[in-house]
Each structure stands twice: as structure tokens, then as C-alpha cells.
Structure 1
């Protein structure tokens, strides 16, 4: 194929990423750069590359950081899968691309016991006399972080009336402009209603601060102070860790990974798989108890 052919194929792939996958602008730009550089290294023959060509690319990437190689490989694998799906190739050579071990550690994990201790502190605070409205705000913040998996930015920038008492969900626009439906539990709606009664009706935000809304930095500080009071090392917790706990505990309770992907707003299921850490013991137990062969063995 000519260089022009590669350019056309790359543009078709990127257009698919925009229209169907809903990828963020930065992701599309990074994929485009990686694909064009690979095309240059293969002298405009990326679209017709064979396994040996991709092994040559891997050799050329040896001096790069593992995370960079992982990103480039991911971009090319998606590109070749797209060509195969569209019938533009009869094969998919993506398996020849390097798969470097990621240096990214597993997300920090809170146990259900840790979460229980956080809510116990909140309950003690709310029982104090006289009552402090900030304790109601704390309850609403934690209920939404742990009960709905909101990102910190999404949480602090919620409009005052975003959560209705009679509607068990919220429609959010997250990364890449993707809209998603977020479930709001009865507990969270009750906590929000109790807090909103203390928010001036003239304020635009559910969690106002100064002339705007609560900052992500201040939210981080509030969550760490709560952890310290609950006897949890503050460096083990953050708003993001509570979001992760939401996903992990739902998965451990039997939630479907695709449903979690939708609730978390991930464009790629691979992100959800990393995000929702599940220990190997539970996976083994799941196979033994749910797999048809395991059930057949139990009946013998």
C-alpha cells in the first residue's frame, strides 16, 4: 500500500473511534500520532503489515518506557482489529505486537470493614448536639462517592438540583463528553436532601464554597480527615479510592463487568478490568461455584 493508503485507513479508524467508541480527544490524538509514526517506520505499509513487520516495530521501541510501548501496542492492536472487522484485511496480525508488563500497580483497596468504619464516624458526628451542617455535607459526599462511583470533579461540580428525591439515577457527562446513567441509592438521595436543606436556594452548586463550588483539593482533605478519625491511614484513602471501592465491592457482590463499565463511564472495558481489582481466591471460588463443569462435579 502507498502512504496515502495508510493515511486513509488511519483516518477511517480515528473516525470510528470518534463516532462509535466515543473516545476522548486526547486519546484520538495519541492514537493518530502512534499510528502515523508506525506507518513511517514501515515506509507506508502499516495497513498491510505482517507479523515480521510488527516484530520489527517492537524492536524499534526497545529504548522506550514500558508504558509508552504498551500504549503504542494498544493503538495498533485496535487498528488491526478494526481493519479485520471492516473486511479490509482477512487476518489480524496484532498478536505479534509486544505486550510489556505494566509497572502500574493495582489501585488501593478499601475493605467493607474500612467503609463501615467511615460510616460509623459519620453517624457519630450526626448524632452530636448541636448538629453541624458540615456533618450532613460529609455524609452526602461519601454516600455519593462510595454509593455511586462519581469522579471527584463530577461530584464537586454537581448543580444544586442535580439529584431529585424521586429519581433514583443521575445523567452525567464525563470524560470525552460521554453521557452515562449513574444510580443514586435511597441512602444517597436522603443524605443529599438533608444537606441541600442547608444550601441557600440562590447557590448554583450542591456543594458550594466561596463564589464557586467545593474544590477537589478540599474534598481530598475532607476525606483524609474522615479516614484519620476512623483509624484508617490517610495515605490509603482518597475520593478516587472510594470510587474504586464502589466498583470493587459491586463486582464482589456479583455485578456484571459491562454494567460496571457503563456506571463508571469507561470507554474501554480494559480500563474497568484494571479498575475493579478482584483477588484470585474469589475468582477461583466463582469458577468452582458457577461454571457448568463445577456444578456437574458437585452433583456427583
Structure 2
């Protein structure tokens, strides 16, 4: 078994990482391996030196990759070479003493309340697909779920009578999230009038299904979101995470407690949630400038 496969097996079996995280590691390490193969002379993964890793990070930066991408790649390489050192496949860790790239603080893009309203009203409620899409969009904005969490919801995770759902977040951490009344109604409409048709005779515990009766995929939902954003002429570069950002920002703008928002978003560290306070402060400055006579 090659070293990359050995490492992936370790991550899956011993560390129990999610499929998405495993794919992220595999993608980062495969890209680095390709970079090493194109060196003159080519370099094997286990032969990489500190300067090879630095050159790789410089190359990523020169192609316009964000600091977050560089940090993730370096973290993948550190984990990989730490594993090889522990397994005595190498004698020294080439990632030691490599400084982490500084993160630029970029504020998340959010939709205005008007844009959210237009987006949520876009699906055609007279069609099965439209009823499903409406439920997915309403639920995403009502809960601030990550798209991976949204498409992983099972029927048994939803309790409409209490207005809560259970979801599995990063690191396999389970949390309970409230569902607003409008999202509850959209979800009930979907369960009563659309999901049975989408099943097409299949058995599935997945809450949201595609037109083949299979669980909705990340790519499938991304296309749905893009379609409606284009339909209602939202010109911003919108992603499923944009609705998560909008959820948090709109809550804080209306006085929600930061700790409560942290819990609903499933952030392990409140500093991650605090970025939204910068967004709301920016909004406060706009209101002040437009409303105060001496602004």
C-alpha cells in the first residue's frame, strides 16, 4: 500500500474523520504530490524537504489562492508528515519551523433581508420540485445549517411538534437547532405533498431527495440555489454558506445573544462567531451615517 493510501486509512479508521474531510486531505496531498513529480528531478512524497513545501506554498500564493487555502494545505501536509514520522517512514518532519501564512480577515458576504425574501419566494409552490426547494431554502435560512448538515438530515432528526431538529456538525458533534414557524410550514408542506412523489418507490430515510429519489447532493443543492438567485436577479456571488452568513448577521442585527448564535451555528470557538459582529457594526455605521443630522 502506498503512503498516501496508508495515511488515508489511518484518518478513516483510527481518527474517524468524515468523508468530506478525508476528501479534503486526499485532494491537498494529491496536488502536492503532483507538484513534487513535476520538479526536476522529480521528488517522492517521503523525500520532500522543507524548501519543497515552502516553494509549493509560494506557488499556491502566486496563483491567487487565499490564505485559508494555504493554511489548510499546510495543515494537511503537517498531519501527513507527522504520521510518517510516527510510523518511522521518514527520519525528520519537513514541515517543522514553517510559519503559517497570516490570515486576512475577510468579512462574509451576506444578503439583505429583501434579497432573502425574494430568494425564498422564488420556488414554484405548485410543483413537487418547487415545494422541496422552498422547504430547503426556508430551512437553511431558518437554522443557519451548513449545506453538508442540511443534506444529511434524516426524517428521524426532525420534530415538527416541538419545532427542533437534530444535526451532526463538524467533528461529529451533535446539536439541536430551533426551526421557525415559516420553515416548519414549508417543511410540513414538503413532507405531505412532495417527498412521497420524489421517493419513486425507493426506501430512504434522507429528508431531502432529488428527482431520482436519491438523497440530495451538495452539488445538486448548489445548482438549485444558483438557479433561484439568477431568477430573482441577485447579482452577488451566492453560495449555500451565504444563507448561513445571512442567518447569523440578521439575528445579531436584531439583538440576538452572541453565545446563542454560536450554539446554533455549531462554532466550537466564539471567536469564529464574532466575525459577524464586524458585519453588524458596519451596518450600524451605515444607519448612523444616513440618519444622524451631524453624521
Task: Specify if TM > 0.5.
Answer: yes
Is the Cα contact below 8 Å between 1:164 and 1:189 reproduced in 2? no
Q: 1: distance between equivalents of 2:101 and 2:205?
A: 47
CA-atom RMSD, angstroms? Answer: 3.5
Query: Which of 230, 235, 259 lines up with 2:232 in the alignment?
Result: 230
Query: Which of 126, 140, 144 lines up with 1:145 in the alignment?
Result: 140
1:270 matched to which residue of 2?
A: 271
TM-aligned CA distance change 1:278 to 1:134, over 3 Å: same
Partner SS state of residue 166, structure 2: strand
In the alignment, structure 1 segments of 5+ residues that lack a partner are 1-24, 27-60, 72-97, 288-300
Is the Cα contact below 8 Å between 2:107 and 2:279 reproduced in 1? no
Is the Cα contact below 8 Å between 1:67 and 1:103 reproduced in 2? yes
Of 180-189 and 216-225, the range deviating more from structure 2: 180-189
1:88 matched to which residue of 2?
A: none
Matches within 5 A, 1:159-238: 159-197=154-192, 198-200=194-196, 202-209=203-210, 210=212, 212-233=214-235, 236-238=237-239
Partner SS state of residue 212, structure 1: coil
Q: 2: distance between equivalents of 1:246 and 1:204?
A: 27
CA deviation profile, 1:181-214 (whole Å, cap 9, x unmatched): 2111111111111111222374311112346310
Alpha-carbon shift at residue 120 of structure 1 (Å): 3.1
Alpha-carbon shift at residue 165 of structure 1 (Å): 2.4
Partner SS state of residue 194, structure 1: helix
In the alignment, structure 2 segments of 5+ residues that lack a partner are 1-20, 23-53, 72-98, 289-295
2:249 matched to which residue of 1?
A: 248
Q: 2: distance between equivalents of 1:281 and 1:255?
A: 17
TM-aligned CA distance change 1:175 to 1:156, over 3 Å: same
Q: 2: distance between equivalents of 1:161 and 1:278?
A: 36
Q: 1: distance between equivalents of 2:239 and 2:277?
A: 16
Partner SS state of residue 157, structure 2: coil
TM-score by length of 2: 0.58
Q: 2: distance between equivalents of 1:286 and 1:114?
A: 18
Matches within 5 A, 1:6-25: none
Is the Cα contact below 8 Å between 1:248 and 1:277 reproduced in 2? no
TM-score by length of 1: 0.57
Name the larger-Rg structure.
1
Is the Cα contact below 8 Å between 1:163 and 1:189 reproduced in 2? no
2:151 matched to which residue of 1?
A: 156
CA deviation profile, 1:108-139 (whole Å, cap 9, x unmatched): 111111112113323xx22xxxx211111011
